[in-house]
Amino acid sequence: MDWLEALRRFVPETEEERTAQAQVLALAARHGEALLCRDCTAGHITCSGFLLSPDLSETLMAYHLVYGSVGWTGGHADGGTDLLAAALREAREETGITKLYAQSSAVLSIDVLPVPAHEKHGVPVPAHLHYNVCFGLIADRTQPLHEREGENRDVRWLTQEALHALCTEAHMLPIYDKLFDRMRRIAEEKAALPCRIAAPLLAWYPAHHRALPWRETKDPYRVWVSEIMLQQTRVEAVKGYYARFLRALPDIAALAAAPEEQLLKLWEGLGYYSRVRNLGRAARQITEQYGGRFPETYEQVRALPGVGDYTAGAVCSICFSLPTPAVDGNVLRVMARVQEDHRNVLDTRTRADITEALRPVYEGSDPAMLTQALMEMGATVCIPGGAPRCGECPLSGICMAAAAGNAAGLPVREKKQHRRIEQKTVFILECGGRIAIAKRPDTGLLASLWELPNVPGHLNAQEAVRTASGWGVQPQELQKIVQRKHIFTHITWEMQGVFLRCQNAVPEFTWAAPEELREVHSLPTAFRCLLE
C-alpha cells in the first residue's frame, strides 16, 4: 500500500496519536518522499514492528546500543514507500527470524519519538525526531535468534511484565502497553468474524449463483465426479466432460466395471490422469466395501482413493448436510481476505486453522448452501489474479482486508524458497601487521558494515594475485587459501579466503590491526570467520 494512504487510513485513538498523524501528514505535504529519507532535516519516517508470539503472550525485543534499553525492532524507511515491508525487513535483520507475518497491513500506531545524539559506524549523529509508523507482527517463538552486529544484542522474548522490568525508556512503556492491547483486540475481532459470514452469504447465494449441472443434484456419485474433475480445471472446460462421462458411466456400478482404457478415453484432454484412475479404484472399493452404496460419513469418504480433505468436505456437506467445511483455494482466499490473514495459505497449518474456524459456522447453518456459497464467492466475486469485486461482495461490510485497503494483496502464497548460493573470493591483505578492510554500501546485505575486499566467483591463486596487484597493494607472498561458508536467511556465501602479505598499504582501503576488527570496526561474522 502507498505510504501516504497507509498514514491517512490510520485511525488515532489518543490525542498524542492525532497530533503525531497531523504532524507527519503536514510534513509529507511539504517534503513528499524526502520524508522517507534519513537526511531530511525536518525529521524522517521510521518503521517499527511490534512482534508478538502467536498466542500474543510475549514480545520479541532486543537491547539497542543507541538507546541503552530493550526495545522493539525497527529502522529507517530509507526511501522505500512500502512501510510494512520496511518493518518486516528490519524485524528479520535485527532478530534473525525468517518466518513472520503482519497481523494486519493497517498501521498500528503513529508516534513521534526523540532520538538522542549518538554515533553510528563511527559517524556522529545529532539528536533528531523519528516519526515512527508501527505495524503488528507475529512470529513463531521457536525460531533461532541472532544479534545485528554493531546495533543490538540480547535478542529475546519477553512477557509484558518482564518488558516493564527491563525497559529503561519510561516514555516507551505506555506505547508498548497500548500495542499489546491493540493486537489482542484485533485477534479477538478476527476470531469472531467467521461466525458472521453465514447470514450474508446464504442471503446472497440464491440470486447470484451460476447454474451448473452438478448443482442440480445431491447424488453423491455425481457431486463426487464433478469435484474430482474440477481439481486443477476450469468450470467451462469441465461441463462437456461431465455430461459425457455420466452418459457413459451413470452410476458407481458402471464406473467400477469400466476398463481403464475407457476411463482414459473419457478423460482425454482433461489432464492429470491419476484423477480418473483413482475414480475407478474408488468405485471398486465402494462396490466391495459398501455394496455399491456411496459411504455417508466423512471418514469413509476421506478414505477413498484420490479423495482429500476438501473433496470429502464438499461431498459430505452438499450431499449429506454434514458440518464438514470444504476448504479449497477459493475458500482460503475468501477467508484470508475477510480476516486479513497474512499467513501463507500454502502452509498446511493455515488451511487446518481456517477449516477449524469454519466448523462451528457449518454447525449453525445450512452446510450444503454454505459450501456452495463460499465456492461461488471465491470464483466470481473474491476472485484470484485480479482486483476483487468488493462492491459486489456480501461480506464487504465485515471484511478486514477491504477496510485496510489490502484485499488485492491477499492471500499470501509463499512456496518454499531455496537459498541462493553465491561464490566469493575474499582477500585477507596484510601489510605491516594491519589488514585491509572497506565499508560496504549503505543499502542491501550487511549495509554500512565493514568487509574484507572481495570479488564474485572463486579465483585460482594466479588470478587472485593478479586481482590484488590491480589494487596497487603489491603482493609479496601468497600465504594460504582457505574455504569457509556463511549462511544468511536466503543466501549462502561459499567463500575462498586468500591470505596475501603485501608491501603497499594503499589509501583506498582502511588498514586495521587484528584486534580492531572486532572492537573498533565491527567486522561481521561472515568475514571474521575467515580469520578465525
Q: What is the mean pLDDT of residues 119-132?
A: 79
pLDDT computed for residue 416 by the predictor: 64
Nearest to 72 by CA among 19, 143, 135: 135
Alpha carbons 191 and 250: distance in angstroms, whole number: 44
pLDDT higher than 80, residue 118: no
pLDDT computed for residue 298 by the predictor: 97
CATH class of domain segment(s) 195-409: mainly alpha
pLDDT computed for residue 519 by the predictor: 66
pLDDT computed for residue 522 by the predictor: 66
- The confidence band for 52, taking pLDDT boundaries of 50, 70 and 90, is very high
CATH number listed for the domain at residues 420-531: 3.90.79.10
pLDDT computed for residue 524 by the predictor: 80
pLDDT computed for residue 61 by the predictor: 96
Residues contacting residue 176 through CB under 8 Å, at least 6 positions apart: 50, 59, 72, 160, 163, 167
* Percent above pLDDT 90 for the chain: 79
pLDDT computed for residue 121 by the predictor: 63
Domain 3-192: CATH superfamily, name plus number: Nucleoside Triphosphate Pyrophosphohydrolase (3.90.79.10)
pTM of the predicted model as reported, rounded to 2 decimal places: 0.75
Number of Cβ within a 10 Å radius of residue 246: 20
Q: Give the residue with greater pLDDT, 120 vs 380.
A: 380
- The confidence band for 517, taking pLDDT boundaries of 50, 70 and 90, is confident
Pairing of strands 491-502, 109-115: unpaired
Q: Give the DSSP per-residue string, 392-414.
A: G-TTTTT-HHHHHT-GGG-SB--
pLDDT computed for residue 7 by the predictor: 95
Q: Give the residue with greater pLDDT, 43 vs 23.
A: 23
In this chain, the answer to whether the domains covering 3-192 and 195-409 adopt an identical fold is no
Q: What is the mean pLDDT of residues 382-390?
A: 89
- Worst-scoring range by mean pLDDT, 145-149, 243-247, 439-443? 439-443
pLDDT higher than 80, residue 172: yes
pLDDT higher than 90, residue 386: no
Q: Quote the mean pLDDT of the chain.
A: 93
pLDDT higher than 90, residue 200: yes
With contact defined as beta carbons under 8 Å apart, do 502 and 430 qualify? yes
pLDDT computed for residue 518 by the predictor: 67
Nearest to 343 by CA among 109, 99, 180, 145: 99
Q: Give the DSSP per-residue string, 199-253.
A: HHHHHHHHHH----GGGG---HHHHHHHHHHHTTS-HHHHHHHHHHHHHH--SHH
pLDDT computed for residue 515 by the predictor: 83
Q: Among the options 17, 227, 340, 430, which is catalytic?
A: 227
Tens of pLDDT along 149-167? Answer: 878 889 999 999 999 999 9
Domain ranges of the chain: 3-192, 195-409, 420-531
pLDDT higher than 90, residue 125: no
pLDDT computed for residue 443 by the predictor: 75
- The confidence band for 425, taking pLDDT boundaries of 50, 70 and 90, is very high
Q: Give the residue with greater pLDDT, 450 vs 25.
A: 25
88-107 in b/e burial notation, b at 16+ Cβ within 10 A? Answer: bbbbbbbbbbeebebbbbbb
Alpha carbons 45 and 256: distance in angstroms, whole number: 67
* Percent above pLDDT 70 for the chain: 98
Q: What is the mean pLDDT of residues 120-145?
A: 87
Rg from Cα positions in the chain? 30
Tens of pLDDT along 331-367? Answer: 999 999 999 999 999 999 999 999 999 999 999 899 9
With contact defined as beta carbons under 8 Å apart, do 298 and 311 qualify? no
pLDDT computed for residue 148 by the predictor: 85
Q: Is 227 a catalytic residue?
A: yes
pLDDT higher than 70, residue 521: no
pLDDT higher than 90, residue 316: yes
pLDDT higher than 90, residue 528: no
Tens of pLDDT along 273-283? Answer: 889 999 999 99
Q: What is the mean pLDDT of residues 394-410?
A: 94
